[in-house]
Structures are given as C-alpha cells and as structure tokens.
C-alpha cells in the first residue's frame, strides 16, 4: 500500500506540486486545477505502461493516484464516492487489465467532472467549398469536364452516331453541364428533353449512351471525387438513358 501511494505522490509532485511557493493553503479552485493535472499525468503514464504489457504496474500507479487524490475530493461527495466504489470494485477483478480499465475510468471521471472538455467552435474558413458544384470548380470546372468527356465519347469507334452532323455539340455540352449542376447543388437546371434535342431529337444507341457515360464518369473520377459524390452525380443518369436510348424492337 505504501509503495502505491509513494508512486502516486511522485506523480503528484513531479507534475504540479501540492503547495504554493509561500506555503499558503490552496483554495478549492486551485486545488481542483492541480488534481486534474495530477490525474491526467497519471493517465498518460499509465497508458504507456499498460501498452507495454505491464498491467500490474499500471494498476498500482492508478490505484496509488486515486488513493492519494480521493481525500482531496471531499467537497465533491458524489465524485469521491464514485472513485472509492471503483477502487473497491477493482480489487475484486480477476484480470489485471480489467482492474486497470476500472481505475482509468475513475481517473477520467475526475477529470471530466472537474474540468469537462469544452466544445471548441471554429468558424469555417471563408473560402470553404460547401457544395459538390463548388468542389468541381463551378461552371468553369464542370464545363472543362463535360467538354473533355464529350470529345472522348465522340471519338469512340463504338459510338459513330455521336459524330453525326445532326448532333449539336454545343447544346450537348450545355445540357450535360445542366445535368451535373442539377445533381451537385449548382445553379442550373436540367431536362432530358434538352439533351435529346441536342442529338437532333433522335434516339441514340445503347453503345453510344455507354460511351458517353464512360467518358463522363472517367473525367469526374479524375477530379478525385469521393464515392459518395460520384453516386450523387450519377444517381439520375439511368433515368436520362431511358429518355435518350432507342427502344428495342419487339
């Protein structure tokens, strides 16, 4: 028992000391402040000891610390009673690791009761990009993505119809920008009818739609978007395909 208390006292005095330089009694607020520093230091050292596999030494350190600080909690009777109860329970535990966790909980309760962690609220940076549209670079960034995707798709040998003279490439790009905008909290709206009109009002083949889809997704992935962002952007694309792709003959 003496060895445990001695170890705890070494932590106490090494961390913060128990008296003022002029030997005047500490007021309660200052005492609480030092008790918090004490249990924090013990928890840090104990964690290092525990992680090295020295569970018995960790238990002794925690137990000694709690035995030393418990009398200083007489102005907090509930907390003091909780600490004593955990000390008692730890002595009945078969596994030293369980006892260490029980005692560590008591140390944490002291710290959280006397000095609960404060929620730090930080104002977001003024240049924080909050929407997917913004993260894509707004209209300028999306236009670059769409234009590259269109050029790649139109050059796909499996999609000759995308190079047809009836196709208005500028309107296709504009409609695709509208689609991305509508699915990324952007300012522009989208209508599948607009995209179909850009293709001359005629349906395109499954292969042509597939080429356009692959090119668009590939360019979006190059923006290093998360899987969630990609899902958000493509969730309505299947419905667009039903409007554009020619219906199979029966």
- Kindly report, residue by residue over 211-227, the tens digit of the pLDDT: 888 888 888 888 777 77
* Chain segment 148-195, per-residue pLDDT in tens: 888 888 787 777 777 765 777 788 888 888 888 888 888 888 888 888
Give the residue carrying structure tokens 């309760």. Answer: 109
Identify the sign of the CA torsion 177, 178, 183, 188: positive
Q: Exposure of 52 by Cβ count < 10 A (0-12 exposed, 13-18 middle, 19+ buried)?
A: exposed
Give the residue carrying structure tokens 């709690």. Answer: 66
Does 22 share its domain with 67?
yes
Distance between CA atoms of residues 188 and 180, nearest Å: 9
Domain edge (last residue) among 114, 143, 160: 114
* Chain segment 120-146, per-residue pLDDT in tens: 445 555 445 578 888 888 888 888 888
Q: What pLDDT score was predicted for residue 80?
A: 92
Does 142 share its domain with 239?
yes
Structural domains in the chain (count): 2
Domain assignment present for 124: no
Does 104 share its domain with 136?
no
Q: What pLDDT score was predicted for residue 26?
A: 67
């Amino acid at each position: 028992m003496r060895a445990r208390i001695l170890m705890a006292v070494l932590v106490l005095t090494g961390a913060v000391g128990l008296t003022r330089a002029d030997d005047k009694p500490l007021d309660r607020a200052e005492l609480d402040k030092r008790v918090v520093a004490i249990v924090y230091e013990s928890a840090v050292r104990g964690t290092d000891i525990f992680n090295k596999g020295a569970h018995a030494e960790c238990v002794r350190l925690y137990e000694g610390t709690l035995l030393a600080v418990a009398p200083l909690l007489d102005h907090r009777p509930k907390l003091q009673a909780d600490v004593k109860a955990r000390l008692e329970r730890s002595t009945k535990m078969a596994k030293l690791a369980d006892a260490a966790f029980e005692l560590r909980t008591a140390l944490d309760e002291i710290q959280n009761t006397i000095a609960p962690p404060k929620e730090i609220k930080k104002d977001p940076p003024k240049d924080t990009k909050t929407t997917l549209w913004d993260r894509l670079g707004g209209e300028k960034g999306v236009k670059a993505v769409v234009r590259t995707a269109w050029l790649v798709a139109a050059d796909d040998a499996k999609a000759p119809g995308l190079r047809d003279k009836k196709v208005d490439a500028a309107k296709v790009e504009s409609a695709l920008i509208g689609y991305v905008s509508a699915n990324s909290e952007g300012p522009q709206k989208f209508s599948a009818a607009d995209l179909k009109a850009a293709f001359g009002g005629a349906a395109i083949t499954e292969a042509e739609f597939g080429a356009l889809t692959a090119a668009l997704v590939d360019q979006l992935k190059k923006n290093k978007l998360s899987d969630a962002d990609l899902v958000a952007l493509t969730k309505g694309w299947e419905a667009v395909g039903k409007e554009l792709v020619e219906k199979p003959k029966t």
